[in-house]
Amino acid sequence: MKKILIETYGCQMNKADSELVAGVMLPEGYTNTENHEEADVILLNTCAVREGAEDRILGILAHYRKYKEKKPNLVLGVIGCMAQNLKEELIHKRPWVDLVMGPDSYRDLPKAIQQLQSADHEPLVIVRRDRFENYEEIFPVRGEGFNAWVSIMRGCDNFCTFCIVPFTRGRERSRKSSNILREVRLAVEQGYQEITLLGQNVNSWKDEESGERFADLIRAVGQIEGVKRVRFTSPHPKDFPDELLYAMRENPNVLVPHIHLPLQAGNTEVLQRMNRGYSKEEYLKLVDHIREILPDVAFSTDIIVGFSGESYDQFQDTLDVVRRVRFSGAFMFKYSRRPYTKAEHMPDDVSEEEKQRRLEELIELQRSIEAEIVQEWIGKETEVMLEGVSPKREEEWIGRIPQNRPCIVPAACGQVGDLVKVRIVDARAMTLVGKPL
């Protein structure tokens, strides 16, 4: 059988798309492999959110040239957001690449690869934009694990000035509820106990036929027999319905009290330049409101430092929000200007050295807050879903509590996907240590 290797870079959406690509290719007679030497097809599923991500892929492709030299019939392809962004330019930069394909074109993969494996072929660039493509009847092929990423929508309509996603993944469109629930049931049958619903603005999901909204969907997913936990990412702060919070409160054992709530910046003027649709005060008010309904909730977030025009005083507003919210986790980045976005035409006027200094100051603050949070957990009882053997000690397993904090437990207490009740007795850096009850 022909063998395909799919490497994934970037966000959870790319992870879900790689599983979707496997769902397209395996029925065509391919099997997955992790061995570059034996692969007949190598696909790099790429990210374009930051310039550094693209530079990394270009470096990897330079290294992969040797596989093409050893095996001329090998098909080497770049798919995903970077492919949609760079298009023909990618072939010019790395002429040994055979295929460039955007996120709306995966149905064309089998035919494209067959064409490329013919005697004489030219590189193919397939980056069409399909505003209706949701891959409704194609179901992903997942590897081993306990968590299933389920993409419920594609694209984004927010057009934040710094973000390239609407230009690489297109406009927002939602999958049908019936199709999503069918995929969840299939995942449960395959042994997955935790479901994570994915979307660029997941809480704006809507079934146009039935009129169901995201709160209806997450309730329905949580009621499927065999689903132990439901998570979702990422919601947008400007569009957060109370119905969703009530759904989480009604069933906290399944709809876990963890919300990834992207901040991006803490200063209102910077947020306006980013076109985020909320102010600093509105963000903090939303956090307080969510905590009134879900007292045990933990927040994680995304933050960008050094956006166009951000002064040091405005950066202090970001630190102020971090202190007041006390995020349990944060993805923190230096601003990177991207093509096609509105911010491409704004001045990138914060020096690289100043961006780095601000990022380090932010990271130091966030680490100190997380260190306090893990200490506050000691003595409390909670539930851990086991993920597998700890990478540091074979006699221990690692899992996550509902608030998404990693927790170490003795290996003898269960198997992957089991829910184990524990008392937190210690903490190692940012990881909790639990004693089974």
Lowest mean pLDDT among 88-102, 117-131, 148-162, 300-314: 117-131
Residue 140 is assigned to a structural domain of this protein:
no
If phi over 0 gives left and psi between -120 and 50 gives alpha, with beta otherwise, what is residue 134? Answer: alpha
Residue 136 is assigned to a structural domain of this protein:
no
Question: Can you tell me the mean pLDDT for 354-380?
Answer: 98
Q: What is the pLDDT of residues 11-36, one digit of tens each?
A: 899 999 999 999 999 999 999 999 99
SS3 of 183-218: HHHHHHHCCCCEEEEECCCHHHCECCCCCCEHHHHH
> Could you check whether the bond before residue 234 is cis, i.e. omega within 30 degrees of 0?
yes
User: In this structure, are strands 419-428 and 406-410 parallel, antiparallel, or unpaired?
Assistant: unpaired
Question: Can you tell me the mean pLDDT for 183-208?
Answer: 95
CATH code: domain of residue 35: 3.40.50.12160
Q: Is the pLDDT of residue 319 over 90?
A: yes
CATH code: domain of residue 430: 2.40.50.140
pLDDT at 393: 86
Partners of residue 349 on adjacent β-strands:
none
CA-based radius of gyration for the chain: 22
Q: Which residue has the tokens 């973000």?
A: 163
On whether both 313 and 411 belong to a single domain, the answer is no
User: Pick from 126, 155, 174: which residue ends a domain?
Assistant: 126
Judged on CB neighbours under 10 Å (0-12, 13-18, 19+), 118 is exposed
On whether both 403 and 362 belong to a single domain, the answer is no
Residue 55 is assigned to a structural domain of this protein:
yes
On whether both 267 and 402 belong to a single domain, the answer is no
Residue 81 is assigned to a structural domain of this protein:
yes
Total domains in the chain come to 3
Question: Can you tell me the mean pLDDT for 287-295?
Answer: 97
pLDDT at 296: 96
On whether both 172 and 319 belong to a single domain, the answer is yes
CATH code: domain of residue 338: 3.80.30.20
* Rounded-to-integer distance, Cα 85 and Cα 54, Å: 10
On whether both 364 and 277 belong to a single domain, the answer is yes
Q: In 3D, which of 375, 374, 382 has the Cα closest to residue 252? A: 382
Q: What is the pLDDT of residues 174-192, one digit of tens each?
A: 999 999 999 999 999 999 9
pLDDT at 119: 65
Residue 419 is assigned to a structural domain of this protein:
yes
10 secondary structure, DSSP code: S
* Rounded-to-integer distance, Cα 220 and Cα 195, Å: 12
Question: Can you tell me the mean pLDDT for 138-146?
Answer: 90
User: Pick from 332, 356, 374: which residue ends a domain?
Assistant: 374
Range of the domain at 164: 147-374
* Rounded-to-integer distance, Cα 380 and Cα 170, Å: 45
Q: One-letter amino acid identity for 141? A: V
On whether both 31 and 170 belong to a single domain, the answer is no
